Amino acid sequence: MSSQLERADVDVELYLGCSLIAAETTAYTTKLMELLDDSDAEHDDIIELVSADAILVSKILTLANSAFVGARRESSNVWDAVRVLGLSMVRNVATLRLFAMKPDNAELPAGYFEHSVASAAGAAVIASQVGNKVRDAWAIALMHDLGIVLMASAEPDRFQAAQNDSGFSSLAEEHAVFGFGHDDVAAEVLDHLGLPTTLTSAIREHNADPSTGASAMSLTVRAGIALAEQAGATSCSEPVGNLNELLDALDLSVSHDALFAELDEHRSAVAALL
């Protein structure tokens, strides 16, 4: 059962206009999102537009042939890759491209990329253990703290005021300064871009108390983030919670060592997708 947290009043356009996002990438991604939203759009038109961005093509082909998808046959072209992934996942990959999720992006806070990659790997590990959708879990975890970089880029002074004494982005302070948290910002921006409700709801809930009735996907992602943090991935925000408590909430009994071993296997695979 989902906790259905109340939606925040977030100025989405402010965050979409921040310096993190290149204008030319925004124009292309907006056009692609509009085409994906058009129920009358021809599949050939979608393939043609996707093919216009060589980097997006590379990422889609890499993902379609990755262990996260587990396709039975190799995808050697965009048409095959889109068919394997589905339009929802194409939208997710295009969104990652829009926000320049790559290690050499100077706009990202120190450690942000590494923590996101480790969290995505952790979410993939937990999802495979509990039978949740791995491809959804890693995409959600990869973007779970996107609101932090959007807030820091769009309103740096206010964001600085929301840091706690340990240098973490504090949800309590964010709410005091902005009236909402970084989880709200990410969820609202991604919802505006048309990403699936399953994804945006899990991002909105990733800091919620497990006892409030968070969705299975939200708990899966949160446990994956906690796994990454316990393995040493330093976050820009406060830790998401106790790993053992989150594993108990998922009724998952497995040794930490086994989970850490899987995490290491997945981490490089996630980084390669970016």
Contact yes or no for 230/115 (Cβ under 8 A) = no
What's the total number of domains in the chain? 1
Q: Residue 153's domain is classified under what CATH number?
A: 1.10.3210.10
Which range marks the domain in which residue 166 is found?
Answer: 12-273
Closest by CA to 114, choosing from 260, 236, 247, 240, is: 236
Contact yes or no for 241/218 (Cβ under 8 A) = no
Helix 197-204 / helix 134-143 crossing angle, nearest 10 deg: 50
DSSP 104-132: T-TTSPTTHHHHHHHHHHHHHHHHHHHT-
Distance CA 77, CA 61 (A): 7
Give the single-character DSSP code of 237: B
| Domain presence at residue 80 | yes
Give the single-character DSSP code of 205: T
Most confident listed range (61-70, 194-203, 217-226): 217-226
- Beta bridge partners, 163, equal 169
| Domain presence at residue 176 | yes
Integer-rounded Cα radius of gyration of the chain: 18
Structure confidence by residue, pLDDT tens digits, 164-206? 776 677 788 899 999 999 999 999 998 888 888 888 888 988 8
For the chain, percent of residues with pLDDT exceeding 70: 93
| Domain presence at residue 45 | yes
Q: What are phi and psi of 225, to 5 degrees?
A: -65, -45
Instruction: Enumerate residues 6+ apart whose C-beta is below 8 A from 52.
Output: 28
| Domain presence at residue 4 | no
- Beta bridge partners, 169, equal 163, 237
The confidence score (pLDDT) of residue 123 equals: 94
| Domain presence at residue 164 | yes
Distance CA 183, CA 207 (A): 8
The confidence score (pLDDT) of residue 213 equals: 65
**Tokens of residue 228, six digits:** 């990454």
**Tokens of residue 238, six digits:** 């406060």
Q: Write the burial class of residue 43 (CB in 10 Å: 0-12 exposed, 13-18 middle, 19+ buried).
A: exposed
| Domain presence at residue 19 | yes
Structure confidence by residue, pLDDT tens digits, 223-268? 999 999 999 888 777 788 899 999 999 999 999 999 999 998 888 8
Nearest 5 degrees, angle CA 82-CA 88-CA 92? 95
For the chain, percent of residues with pLDDT exceeding 90: 24
| Domain presence at residue 5 | no
| Domain presence at residue 3 | no
